[in-house]
Each structure stands twice: as structure tokens, then as C-alpha cells.
Chain A
Amino acid sequence: MLLEFDGVTKRFRNGVLANDDVSLTVDAGEVFGLLGPNGAGKTTLVSQLLGLLVPDAGRILIDGADVVADPGLARRRCSFQPQAAAPVAGLSARQAIEIVGRIRGGTKAAVRRRAAELVEILDLAEVADRPVPMSGGMARLTGFCMAAVVPGRVVVLDEPTNDVDPLRRRALWGCIRALADDGAAVLLVTHNVLEAERCVDRLAILGGSRVLADGTPAALKANLAAALRLECSVEPELPVPTPPAALGPATLVGRRLVVRVELSDVADAVAWAKAQQDGGAIAEFAVVPASLEDVYASWVAPQRLAS
């Protein structure tokens, strides 16, 4: 196993327990998603891998070597995109990418070639050669390139897609996949559950400092109580219709009403929704398969209620 967290526990001096007995493994060639609400301990876990924080208990191994004991090894083996924008002020994207690539041990020619490739793929031409103040998305993409120019055995990406527009985002996911295909273990911290579903090989859901669930997206969805969901757009002017209790729990996010539905109840659910649509309370509706977001909600929501 390339990367292994084994019983990692971290309590801050203010008493907050950020990671509680976290055990995870990520293999070479894998994109591993670390999902969880704000404050679940995702960034803390990553910081311990990078040697910025030290765990109170547990081990972190890269290729079997303990990086808690040897943080220098962790820095050589991991390349990192931080959650905050990478510090690129005053530099052009190309300069920032090339400097970090050279610091990470790349040769001048190789780094230049790879930087040009990344600039091309992620369409960074407009900031590539001018030290302009970058937009949030551009700075974040530059930060990604700085982690990808000379990738480590482990590539740690903390919220890489935030602020990135849809087209570049698609290209970015392609680059992330390519890093894994080239043999890296990619550890991806994200809030974006829907995107993660399409891009990660395996994932863990962190909540309340513990690992709530981990596995492939398909395996996690298989364990979900309701396999489908009914999504309705409710009309803003009218009161929100209440679905029959027999269908399952409903949640309202903005104008989107989501009801988790068992396969056997689909006909009832559609009949109810159609009646609401005819009555004008619902603009449109659809029955869709449960997504990773449902898995996420099924783990995180009860955990949040409990705390």
C-alpha cells in the first residue's frame, strides 16, 4: 500500500479532537476522495501527512516508511495544493509552476516542458506570462499545477476545483486522473460530492473527526436504504407540498424538494408528483438513482444531529 493512515488521532491544545482513530489506505494509481463537512478534520489529517502537524497517536506510512518520524521524507514524497490559494502574488503562473518544479528536483528542461503542457491543458495562457493579480480560479489552477509539475508519490489536493469554471474544471479532473494513471496516489479533499462521485476510485466520509464510511462510490451507494430519489422543483409563490409519509424522508434545499424513494414506491411517488404538478405546486420533477450525495447525507446528517 502506498499511503497508509493507521489509527491517527490528533487533539489540539484547545481540546478540540480533530482526528479520532482515523485509518485509511490509498494505493498507487488511485484517486481517493476525502469528504466531509467543514471542521470534520480533513485538512488536519492532510497536514499531519505533510509533517505540518504531529499526531498524538497513530502512524502515517508512505511506501511503508513512517513519515511522522521523518517529516523530511513526507515533503519529498508528497506534492501539495493547499486549501488556501497558493502564494503566487507577483509571479506569473509559469514562473510559479517552474520554480516549484525546480525546487521539487525537476530539471530545467523537463519542468519547462511540463509547465507548458499544464498551461495548455488547463487553458492558463492569459496568466501564464504576466504577473497579473489572478482571479480565485486562476490562482487555484496555478496552485494545482505547482503540485502537478513534479508530482510526488502522493499528490495531496485540498479543494482543487473551488472557484474553477466548468470547462477548466473538466480539464482539471482529467489532469487529476492522469496523475493517478501515472502511478501517484492522489488524496483529494473536497466538499464537492457530485463531482467526486465521477472522479474518485474510493472515498472516505469524515464526520465528527472519525471515518464514518469508506469504500468505492458504488459500494457505498449499495448500502443506502433508498435506491432512488424524487426531485421536484417547487413553485416559489405557493406553499411547499408535503409528500406522503409512506414515501420516505423529504428535504428542501432552496426550491428543490428531494424525497428518497424505494423502488417499490416509485409509482406512488410519480403519481403524487404528477398530481402536484397538475395542481401547480411543482414546476417539474424527475426520479433519479441515488447519488453519492445521498450517501453523504445519510452519514453526515444523523451524525450532525447526534452532535
Chain B
Amino acid sequence: MTAATWRSYVLLLRWQFLRQRAFLPMLVLIQVALGVGVIYGFSFLVPHVTPNIALFFATGAPTLSLILVGLTVVPQETAQSRTDGRLSYLAALPVPRLTPMLAEVTFWLLVQLPGTVATLTIAALHFDIHLHISPFVIPAVGLVALTSAAVGYALAVSLPPTVASQIASFMSIVLLLFSPINYPLSRLPEVLQDIHRALPVTYMADVIRGSLSGEYGANRSLAFGVVSAYCVAGLALAVRAAARRR
């Protein structure tokens, strides 16, 4: 990353904060409430929570919200910026194509951070589990957020805003119910298990869970390898979508 690229990234991030400044306390509060609510909600949904289930709940909630920021918030914001002219304004500025998206993702990650910490703390207390947080959590969070955001961004730039937001809501339901984020992969039917072995979601949940608890589903290298590969593919897709001139 050159100095000029870094500078434009920092400036766009600053722009993002100034733009959302008025809503910032509300956005952070909602993330906190959502995380805490999910943990309490799960205990109604599943009355007898074993330590293993508790671990899935505690680490699944932040994983899910990381993915959802990328797949729903980023497309919504991008669709909005297409409508209000922000997207093409930024596209005419001398900044590398993906810098606006990177600033957007960073902003939402930072907004989410207090909620994630609150969720993990509440989960650890509520379910009485012990987390072993390793430094791998940083690349894990970065990869998961970036991969989802890249895909979400590519969708929002390539498709009409209404279609993009419909697809985004559909994906969030699928992720919530049919993805091995809040429960182990083995609980899904064979067919879905096979599909999920090829998709990144299982591995995304695994790198987050593993880096927070030390317990990886399969092995760490495989999980990070798959998520990294999807991240590169997602970014390539996003670059293509962003650089495309009609």
C-alpha cells in the first residue's frame, strides 16, 4: 500500500465517521443490544445449553454479525450511495478503486467492536465458558469481514439496488438458519454438509471460533486457507465490479 493510498483510505474513513457522526451512538448501542439479545434469545430457543452449544452460541453471534455487516450493511449502504450519487462521486476521485469499500468495512467493523466485546463478555458470564483468545483473532476478523464485504459490494455495484437488497436479506436468513455458524456442521443433512464444505461460511465460523476458544473444527491451516482463498476471490470480484465502466 503506497503512502497516497493509505492517506486516501484514512481520509475516506474520516469522511465516513463525519457522515455518520450523528448516528454513531445509536449504531453502537444497537450492536451491543443485538449481541446481548442474541445470547439471551438463544437460551430461550435452546433450554438446555451444554458447554459445547454455549461455545457455538458465544462465537457464532459475532461471526454472524461480521458476515452480515459484509453481506447486508455494505450492500445497503452501497445501494444508498448509488442512489444519492456518492458512489459515482467517489469513483471520480483519484483513489484506488477499492479504497471507498475498505473505508466502509473498517467503519462498520469499528462500530461493531463494542457490541462484539459485550456479546462475548455476556456469553462467557451467562454460559460460564472460558475463552482463550489468541492473536489469530485479528486476521480471522479481518478475513471474514473483508470477504463478506467484498462479495456484498460486488453484488451491490453490479445489480440494481432493489435486487441487491432482496438478495442480501435472503442471504441473511439462509445464514441464520441453514449455516453451521451457531451449531456444528454435523447437525445439517448430508447434502447441506457437502455444500457447506465447498462454501466459506463453515470455515469463517471456524476461524473465529478457533481464534476465540482455541478449538478449531477441523484444523487451523485449512480453515484460514479456505477463508483466505475466498477473500482473494471476493476482492478480485469487487475490483472487477468497481472498475467496470458501462
Contacts and interface: CB of A to CB of B under 8 A. Distances in A.
A61 interface: no
A100 interface: yes
B21 A131 contact: yes
B11 A99 contact: yes
A52 B88 contact: yes
A50 B93 CA distance: 9
B246 A105 contact: no
Query: Would you call the interface of chain B mostly helix, strand, loop, or mixed?
Result: helix
B22 A90 contact: yes
Nearest to A90: B19
Nearest to A72: B94
B245 A84 contact: no
B193 interface: no
Interface in B25-68: none
Contact of A91 (B8, B18, B92): B18
B143 to A, nearest CB: 27
Contacts of A53: 245-246
A216 B102 CA distance: 46
B197 interface: no
Nearest to B95: A103
B12 interface: yes
Contacts of A84: 84-85
A54 B8 contact: no
Contacts of B85: 82, 84-87
Contact of A87 (B8, B81, B95): B81
A32 interface: no
B11 A90 contact: no
Contacts of A47: 88
A75 B81 CA distance: 19
Interface in A163-207: none
Contacts of A102: 7, 11
B157 to A, nearest CB: 12
Interface of B: 4, 7-8, 11-12, 14-15, 18-22, 81, 84-86, 88-89, 91-95, 245-246
A12 B245 CA distance: 12
Nearest to B243: A71
12 contacts: A52-B88, A75-B93, A75-B95, A90-B18, A91-B18, A95-B18, A99-B11, A100-B93, A102-B11, A103-B8, A103-B11, A131-B22
A247 to B, nearest CB: 47
B16 to A, nearest CB: 9
Given A12-B246, A51-B91, A52-B88, 8 more contacts: A47-B88, A52-B245, A82-B89, A87-B81, A87-B85, A90-B19, A103-B7, A103-B93
Contacts of B95: 75, 103
Contact of B94 (A13, A52, A104): A104
Contacts of A76: 94
B83 to A, nearest CB: 10
Contacts of A12: 246
A91 B7 contact: no
A90 B21 contact: yes
Nearest to B10: A102
A89 B19 contact: yes
Contacts of A71: 245
Interface in A76-111: 76, 78, 80, 82, 84-87, 89-91, 95, 99-100, 102-105
Contacts of A13: 246
A76 B91 CA distance: 11
Contact of B14 (A50, A72, A99): A99
Interface string A41-65: 0000001001111100000000000
Contacts of A51: 91-92, 245
Contacts of A80: 89, 92
Contact of A131 (B18, B81, B86): B18
A277 B89 CA distance: 53
Contacts of B245: 51-54, 71
Contacts of A86: 85, 89
A78 B93 CA distance: 9
Interface string A17-60: 00000000000000000000000000000010011111000000
A184 to B, nearest CB: 16
B107 to A, nearest CB: 12
Interface string A103-143: 11100000000000000000000000001000000000000
Contacts of A103: 7-8, 11-12, 93-95
Contacts of B89: 80, 82, 86-87
